[in-house]
Structure 1
Amino acid sequence: MANSTERSCSMLVFNDKPITAVEIREALEHGDAETKAAAMRKAITMLLAGEQLPQLFITIVRYVLPSEDHTVQKLLLLYLEAIEKTDPSGKVLPEMILICQNLRNNLQHPNEYIRGVTLRFLCRIKEEEILEPLVPSILANLEHRHSYVRRNAVLAINSLYKLPKGELLLVDAPELIERFLQQEQDLSAKRNAFHMLTSHAPERAVAFLFAHLDALPLWGDILQMAVLELIRKVCVAQPESKGKYIKIILALLQSSSTAVVYECAGTLVALSQAPTAVRAAANCYCQLLVSQSDNNVKLIVLDRLTELKDKHRDVMRDVLLDVLRALSAPNADIRRKTLDLALDLIDTRNIDEVVMVLKKEIVKTQSSSSDASDRGPEYRQMLVGAIHACAAKFPDVASSVVHLLMDFLGDSSTSAALDVVFFVREMCETHPALVPSVLERLRDNFATIRASRVCTCALWVLSEFSSTVEEVRAAIDTIAEGLGPLPLLPAPTADEGGDVGEPKDAARPAGAPAGTVGSKRPAVLADGTYASQAAVLEAPLPSAVGAAAAPNLRALLLGGDFFLGGVVAAALTKLVLRLRALGAPRAATNRAAAQAMLILASILRLGEWEGLPAPLDDDSRDRMVACLEVLARPSPETVKLWLDGCRKAFAALTEDKQSREAAEAAAESAKAVSQPDDLIDFSHLRARRGMSALEVEDAVSSDLARATGLAEAAEESAKRLNRVLQLTGFSDPVYAEAYVTVHQYDIVLDVTVLNRSSDTLQNLTLELATMGDLKLVERLQTHTLAPGASKVIRANIKVSSTETGVIFGNIVYEGGGVAERGVVVLADIHIDIMDYIAPASVADVAFRNMWAEFEWENKVAVNTSISDVRAFLDHIAASTNMRVLTPPRALEGDCGYLAANLYARSVFGEDALVNVSVEKTAEGKLAGYIRIRSKTQGIALSLGDKITLKQRGDS
């Protein structure tokens, strides 16, 4: 913690070898230039560490001031910057006069380096008594032959003119700098001079700008940036003159410097809401997005485009195809952000072009050369999700993309394949006309599916939407081909320890020639044991012998996936029942039923084999046995349940999803809807009076901004008052309150300090410390407060992760009738994790993958006064700022039990997953657990603490 003797400094230096003042004095008195430089470094290090070395000053004046070594002179200036130059009353120490002559000599030194560093040193001197005798020498350096001296002389004059008495010391400084600017040729010197005129005499800077407007494109980038700064400052002070300055900005958009172009675009958007100006800024951002190779630049530009999208959606729709060119970047974050931006901008006018671009991109991912890294499947999954969103939002494009996407059912990325099959399932429900072609394509591609979850969904689609006899028979044949020849494994013979009474060719698969069974060979199973295999089955069985040439369903079943076996049984049962309902011939129906029962019996027989990696579970066995009973003795009620109930449930689920998406879209669009009594300003009917089209557009947009901006300003003022925290009591000698501004990666504290005593408080310091992943950027300056005076002290704190942090500290001061120093302890400032996380959506597959992958979990027991499970879930979602992913229809009912998933994403891109499992006990209270998972420990612990504090419902 800093003490009252410490002051603000521009750098901190670590000193691991302490040295005494006596040793430094001896080195300065008897050493050479190198020894003196080392001693000066030690002295400066001790000063910056808070040590006071008043006994060294005279020694340095005697032995260091006369030195001609450049290093020693530079270190001397650093020393003079670090030492205390005033007494406690604020007067300059008498010994400081000794250095004025040396500074004057340096300003007249024949070497330009000595002059330049001395002028830079004077920029950091705030004492007028030291600077006043040096003014003539500073002004003389404006005519030095070297540009290094001239540019630093301008900086020194600018710093001197900022002082309270600067205008008295340099009465004609603006005129002098204006003449200097007219004659100067060095770009840096001109930039410094123009910056000074912008700060102190903007009217002179404006006059210079318009006098040399034709040469503006030829100016260097740093001077053009200074022009933009001038324009921003003038337009804030004189809003009515924005039109002519916007034309200057439009001219600067043609600059060869990308930094100037970026600043021009930002300035345009800040100054004008005219469609022409916004369109020009959007085009600049799109150009930077494509031309820049730095990924960080691309991400920043995409953020600017996203900000434009929120206020100027129509303009951004016109440049949407240019934004999509950023998909050529190999970075996944850039691609994801580009797709998110594009999906928010699609409408009926550009949907066809956007889908065409996405189709081209997804075709590119099929080539091996398109993505040499392992990012190909991830990018393909993003494209599939984007096309799915487009088709769901605009059903007319579904027919043009569904067949293309079905080629990726067998994709190596399970997530991408799942997105495709879910999309196919939804399209079959919402677009009945596409069902025949989709089913045909699904049957053709079914053999390529190797993921279990994709197979289960595809089987459901085949069994549910096959509505003709031909489609049902083709679906049954497809499932049979996926299983391969029966039985699924060879039966043991007498030679292998089986029953002696079994026939010798019992091991022959169905359809295999009788003479092909006798040849056997050993095979190593997954558990390391040996088994024999018939020669006809020499084509490897996936899980049994570790190869991948077997049909997909067979391979998954041999791997122990008997949940898939239950799905196969349900699909076959549904297909056979539908075949009977469609009036197929009795012989064909019986043949299909017998084939289905044989397949189910084979799967059950496979589940009894001890060589499988996973045994047959009871749930899957019960499901397959139930299917056998339905096939053997179907009843009208059972048939209706199988053929109608499942379809109705899925239709209700789809309808609920569409209604929720429509409600969200309506709520989003309602924000931009105008009120019925809003003024309509027609730019064509507006009196021009010599104004250009751009100036007319800007005037119209300014009128609208003034008309609608009052409510926004009032709302912003209310938010600001809500974020003011009282840090001290009203009876304390010093009253303090803080306004906390939370940005993405930093926190700004504006602390207002008020002297409530009748004495002058000196060396008043705000001392802060942090707990958590917070870091104070700088040490704060000391201040002197008169009675009743106030001061706003700003502190910057960096944030490195999403974690609840605490800022604490005190105010230290001297005076106020206290013998030594007074201390006022401040109230703690708690930085809430809710400031960093926001509700977000994620696919169910991605949620499950993250839940399995994340290693940090925090388990919180339910302890609440709320008695309703749904009300408790709503309370948790509201208090944690998270989104409920579980559909509302799935949460309906009054069974006294509820399980739901919640999701949020932080500004750092971190994911927060929450699962709520709660039930109502017999006593009427709620019991259960809330599980939080995240990739980092901080967010899991902080979110758990937040839930613990807020879950009771009485706070």
Structure 2
Amino acid sequence: MSLDSKAPAYTLVFDPSTNGESYSVSDFQKSLEKGSDNEKISTMKAILATMLEGNPLPELLMHIIRFVMPSKDKRLKKLLYFYWEIVPKLDQEGKLRHEMILVCNAIQHDLQHPNEYIRGNTLRFLTKLRESELLEQMVPSVLQCLQYRHAYVRKYAILAVLSIYNVSEHLLPDAKDIINTFLVAETDPICKRNAFLALSQLDREKALEYLDANIANIDGVDPLLQIAFVEFIRSDATQTPLLKSQYVDLLLELLTSATADEVIFETALALTVLTSNASALITTATKLIDLAVKVSDNNVKLIVLDRIQDINTSNPGALEELTLDLLRILNSEDLDVRSKALDIAMDLVTSRNAEDVVQLLKKEIQTTVSNSANDKSLEYRELLIKTIRGIAIRFSEMSANVVSLLLDLVSELNSTAASGIISFVKEVMEKYPQLRQELLNHLLNSLVNIKSAKAYRGALWVIGEYALTDNEIQNCWKHIRSNVGEVPILQAERKKLNKTNDESNEGEEQKHKQAGPVILPDGTYATESAFDSVKDTSYKNQDEDDNETLPIRRFVLGGDFYTASILASTIIKLVLRFEKQGSNVSITNALKAEALLILVSIIRVGESSIVKKRIDEDSSERLMTAIGILLDEVNPHETPAEKELLELAFLDATKNSFKSHLAISKRDKKRIVSKTLKKNTEPIEKAVMFRQFINADSNVVQKDSIEEDLELATNGDSAALKRRTMTSSLKKIVPLTGFSDPVYAEACITNNQFDVVLDVLLVNQTKETLKNLHVQFATLGDLKIIDNPPKTNVIPHGFHRITITVKVSSADTGVIFGNIIYDGGHGEDARYVILNDVHIDIMDYIKPARTDDDTFRTMWNAFEWENKISVKSALPTLHTYLNELVKGTNMGILTPTEALGEEDSRFLSCNLYARSSFGEDALANLCIERNPTTNEVVGYVRIRSKGQGLALSLGDRVALIAKQNNNARVTRV
């Protein structure tokens, strides 16, 4: 069903019946006859709500004319005009109902009422009236209202003239002259604005003449009229390209002189549609930036930033010189505004302004350091660091300075930000080999200040992969050796504990010796306060303070043996590379011996009781493997093949994997950029339009993007509407009762963005009239019934159709249930028919999405609800199960295709991500393998979300996938 944008938009009325009460026609009639004005007001509200739900109630028209229309209550009169909007005014033959003559007389009296607000309300009603027979009698009264003294009446009268002319031109053949005369003589700004809008729709030439007459004094025109001028210029310029250059100059002049924010915004939008000239776009973007800085509403800031982004997207490189001006918006306290501004600035950065942008962002980081206790400051600092990283990756000349800047801040950052900096260092070292030596020295100087174990593990990986020369390897080894501290660690720590105990015992003895009164040199007793007694802390000697600053020793004593296993891999890489280069054999042997001592001491201390947490089995196995490799290196009988395989595993494999990861991310970025360019570029074979060769009466019409957006918002996506065929609607029909029930019911379910519409068909299968039949619905989950249909009578074998709207507030499993109730015969109790449950498909609200790895890990750690589902499927391959999982859950795969392995692989692990229409995030991790004995796909799917409902709903979908694929199918009888 297509929508008509010209159809009247009826006024929405709030339904006061919170408990879903429904009334019959006789109840309404009695209340209108005998009720007071207050009772009539509540009755009219219930009538309006019932009619808006689809029941026209034609029996009430005469009762409302008799008992409501004579009332002088202003509230009742307002509700009465709401009623005239939606009441059926034509009979079954399409002719005007006789009762409407009485209504027409009442409307004429209101158009001549001494109260200006009643006149204005009546004129506003006429703009929604589409029956020419009714409007014909109103024309004289409407024309009189054009001369009324109060502007409230005149502003609606001019719109009523336009509406009457649009309905039927013969009712007001001289409407153009009337509007033009009214516009010239009018002084009120709102009335002039309405008159100009009406004139621009009916007579372009007259509107152009009025615009030309006011061009010289356009600065002094009221902002409402200025906006009307801008809208006329935008629409007229797309229809007549010959005047476009003059219109652009006029809009630029208006943009420069305008002071009202709404005029600036509308003028800037019009300019972005009409021109692609670089200087005009720079002026437009500058005004938009000033507007975003000036306004206080964060939503307005985001809207303005979206428009700036649209300008940059459609005209790449045009706003390059405004990069620093755009960063003035960072003064806002809202994190979303800052993030949007930084994203746009990243697209505008070039090699000419990259250094200035980095310096400005550096100052912003320094301001966040002073407010480090604030959570928003920490998030903002991470955004700034991410932006600086992106700039340094794009421009190699900035990399060295940026790395030194970020490494200086690494001690003040949390784990996520610090590990992000180390990841950035890894990427820079791989992309720019000429900077490796300098960056490695910076990294070694900053490692002592790293407090995050995750960041330190990344730094150890960098040391193991990019320390290539003998001097670099020895410098890295000195750092590792100094940060381990005194070895063996276990003996050193026990010695320290014994020393601490001895000092504490000496302190206790000293306290006992000094117990008692103290005699001063002058012979008096000394007094001692509780505040003067200071606890002895002499056991914190200098050695322990030094150990607290040694990262590796601190991690080991704290029970972080995963970092120790990474250290073991780094040591193996350094030893193998140093030995491969054929350097001094004595130094090589010394490195191996010292490495063995470090690794063995870590295992010993991990098995002791002085650490906070004993060493785990995986870390112990990796440390023992490293020790075995080092001992095997000492073995003179080691074959060259074994040595080559060892070097391949430790020196080549991990770096090649990192190179492929960078290549994949680079390819994805290029794909995104090319897609954006393809959207905004024009084909080579497109015809060139010369403005000088276009005639004044040319039919060349350009597209107006703003009008296209408005049409899409009002009429919807035409392509999507075409896809809604009858076949697709039939697939959504759900039976609510059985064929043997007295009332057969079925529902066609339509999912909109935030609601579900149930179009229910009721069939009376009995030979009796079912009286006071109504359907009651209730819900489970985050669903809410918006309206309940009223009672009705259904004739034998008759049909009745109702519509139920259900509001959906989250992507949670929802159930709609209910029953049909109707009166029994001759004193019998009411009869019930129980309806089948309707389950809402959450897949209509879940869409696949993309995010980076850092954001995924952050959300994975932050979300508290997890649903772990066991997988056991008879599908032929692991990739087949992954495809079924993606199809059944509407989740997007974040893991690159190259990392998923071959089709016949035995193991598969990947991450998935989706977002609901309500902004809910859903994360999933799939770990499956093929059982070699049963040849089945087994493993787990872990789903995490912020709320419990989404995790459970997706878990049900995963279980349904397994159930559908494991069903036995009969292929032959």
Q: What is the Cα deviation at residue 449 of structure 1?
A: 0.9
- 8 Å contact 1:138–1:157 — kept in the other structure? yes
SS in 1 for 2:340: helix
Aligned amino acid, residue 300 of structure 1: I
**Percent identity for Structure 1 against Structure 2:** 31
- Provide the rounded CA distance (Å) in 2 between the counterparts of 1:800 and 1:319: 41
Q: 1:725 to 1:317 in 2, by over 3 A?
A: farther
- Provide the rounded CA distance (Å) in 1 between the counterparts of 2:261 and 2:336: 22
Q: 1:337 to 1:852 in 2, by over 3 A?
A: same
Deviates more, 1:770-779 or 1:563-572: 770-779
2:186 is matched with which residue: 184, 187, 191?
184
Aligned amino acid, residue 850 of structure 2: A
Alignment of 1:427-442 (within 5 A): 427-442=428-443
2:145 is matched with which residue: 141, 146, 151?
141
1:521-559, Cα deviation, whole Å (9 max, x unpaired): 89xxxxxxxxxx9966546979xxxx9945322222222
Deviates more, 1:908-917 or 1:253-262: 908-917
- 8 Å contact 1:548–1:555 — kept in the other structure? yes
Matched, 1:120 2:124: yes
- Provide the rounded CA distance (Å) in 2 between the counterparts of 1:56 and 1:797: 31
- 8 Å contact 2:813–2:839 — kept in the other structure? no
- Provide the rounded CA distance (Å) in 2 between the counterparts of 1:492 and 1:393: 48
2:269 is matched with which residue: 238, 262, 266?
266
- 1:380 is matched with 381
Q: What is the Cα deviation at residue 423 of structure 1?
A: 1.7
- 1:918 is matched with 928
Q: 1:216 to 1:613 in 2, by over 3 A?
A: same
1:650 is matched with which residue: 654, 668, 681?
654
Q: What is the Cα deviation at residue 915 of structure 1?
A: 1.6
Q: What is the Cα deviation at residue 211 of structure 1?
A: 3.1
- 8 Å contact 1:720–1:739 — kept in the other structure? no
Q: 1:274 to 1:268 in 2, by over 3 A?
A: same
- 8 Å contact 1:359–1:401 — kept in the other structure? no
- 1:222 is matched with 224
- 2:614 is matched with 615
Q: 1:25 to 1:521 in 2, by over 3 A?
A: farther
Deviates more, 1:202-211 or 1:482-491: 482-491
Q: What is the Cα deviation at residue 489 of structure 1?
A: 5.5
1:381-413, Cα deviation, whole Å (9 max, x unpaired): 223323333333443432232222222332331
- 2:712 is matched with none
- Provide the rounded CA distance (Å) in 2 between the counterparts of 1:515 and 1:860: 56
Q: 1:586 to 1:107 in 2, by over 3 A?
A: closer
Matched, 1:867 2:876: yes
- Provide the rounded CA distance (Å) in 1 between the counterparts of 2:18 and 2:323: 58
- 8 Å contact 2:440–2:463 — kept in the other structure? yes
1:160 is matched with which residue: 150, 158, 164?
164
Count of residues in Structure 1 that have an aligned counterpart in Structure 2: 835
- 1:707 is matched with none
- 1:175 is matched with 177
Matched, 1:151 2:155: yes
- 8 Å contact 2:365–2:384 — kept in the other structure? no
- Provide the rounded CA distance (Å) in 1 between the counterparts of 2:394 and 2:548: 40
Aligned amino acid, residue 287 of structure 1: D
1:58 is matched with which residue: 60, 66, 75?
66
- 8 Å contact 1:746–1:799 — kept in the other structure? yes
Alignment of 1:248-397 (within 5 A): 248-254=250-256, 255-272=258-275, 278-317=281-320, 319-346=322-349, 350-354=350-354, 356-367=356-367, 368-369=369-370, 373-397=374-398
Alignment of 1:701-712 (within 5 A): none
**Structure 1-normalised TM-score?**
0.74
Aligned amino acid, residue 215 of structure 2: L
Q: What is the Cα deviation at residue 939 of structure 1?
A: 4.8
- 1:927 is matched with 938
Q: 1:113 to 1:770 in 2, by over 3 A?
A: same
- Provide the rounded CA distance (Å) in 2 between the counterparts of 1:76 and 1:378: 55
- Provide the rounded CA distance (Å) in 1 between the counterparts of 2:756 and 2:165: 29
Q: 1:219 to 1:327 in 2, by over 3 A?
A: same
- 2:667 is matched with 663
Aligned amino acid, residue 569 of structure 1: A
- 2:864 is matched with 855
Deviates more, 1:297-306 or 1:662-671: 662-671
- 8 Å contact 2:200–2:232 — kept in the other structure? yes
Q: What is the Cα deviation at residue 296 of structure 1?
A: 1.0
Q: 1:944 to 1:515 in 2, by over 3 A?
A: closer
SS in 1 for 2:380: helix
- Structure 2: tracts of 5 or more residues without a match: 1-8, 22-26, 51-56, 510-535, 705-716, 734-747, 760-774, 790-802, 819-834, 968-973
- 8 Å contact 2:142–2:160 — kept in the other structure? yes
- 1:398 is matched with 399
Aligned amino acid, residue 424 of structure 2: F
Q: Specify which structure has the bigger relative contact order, considering alpha-carbon pairs within 8 angstroms and separated by 6 or more residues.
A: 2
Q: What is the Cα deviation at residue 641 of structure 1?
A: 5.8
- 8 Å contact 1:574–1:642 — kept in the other structure? no
Aligned amino acid, residue 230 of structure 1: F
Deviates more, 1:201-210 or 1:85-94: 85-94
**Structure 2-normalised TM-score?**
0.73
1:555-613, Cα deviation, whole Å (9 max, x unpaired): 22222111222233343454455555566666655555444433333322322333543
1:167-215, Cα deviation, whole Å (9 max, x unpaired): 3332322211110001101011111212222334444333322332323
Matched, 1:884 2:885: no
Aligned amino acid, residue 357 of structure 2: V
SS in 2 for 1:919: strand
1:154-177, Cα deviation, whole Å (9 max, x unpaired): 2333333343xx433323222111
1:2-42, Cα deviation, whole Å (9 max, x unpaired): xxxxx9653124057999866765665xxxxxxx4x34423
Q: 1:323 to 1:234 in 2, by over 3 A?
A: same
Aligned amino acid, residue 137 of structure 1: S
SS in 1 for 2:318: helix
- 2:794 is matched with none
Q: 1:296 to 1:77 in 2, by over 3 A?
A: closer
- 8 Å contact 1:120–1:152 — kept in the other structure? yes
- 8 Å contact 2:69–2:77 — kept in the other structure? no
SS in 1 for 2:451: coil
- 8 Å contact 1:24–1:42 — kept in the other structure? no
SS in 2 for 1:614: coil
Q: 1:947 to 1:397 in 2, by over 3 A?
A: farther
- Provide the rounded CA distance (Å) in 2 between the counterparts of 1:310 and 1:739: 39
Aligned amino acid, residue 143 of structure 2: L
- 8 Å contact 1:916–1:930 — kept in the other structure? yes
SS in 2 for 1:375: helix
- Provide the rounded CA distance (Å) in 2 between the counterparts of 1:338 and 1:914: 31
Q: 1:506 to 1:871 in 2, by over 3 A?
A: same
Q: What is the Cα deviation at residue 414 of structure 1?
A: 0.8
Q: 1:156 to 1:881 in 2, by over 3 A?
A: same
1:410-432, Cα deviation, whole Å (9 max, x unpaired): 23311111011112223333333
Q: What is the Cα deviation at residue 722 of structure 1?
A: 3.8
Q: CA RMSD in A?
A: 5.1
Matched, 1:602 2:604: no
Matched, 1:213 2:197: no
1:309-337, Cα deviation, whole Å (9 max, x unpaired): 44332335454444343333332222323
- 8 Å contact 2:787–2:804 — kept in the other structure? yes
1:236-272, Cα deviation, whole Å (9 max, x unpaired): 5556654444444334323222222222333333455
- Provide the rounded CA distance (Å) in 2 between the counterparts of 1:76 and 1:726: 47
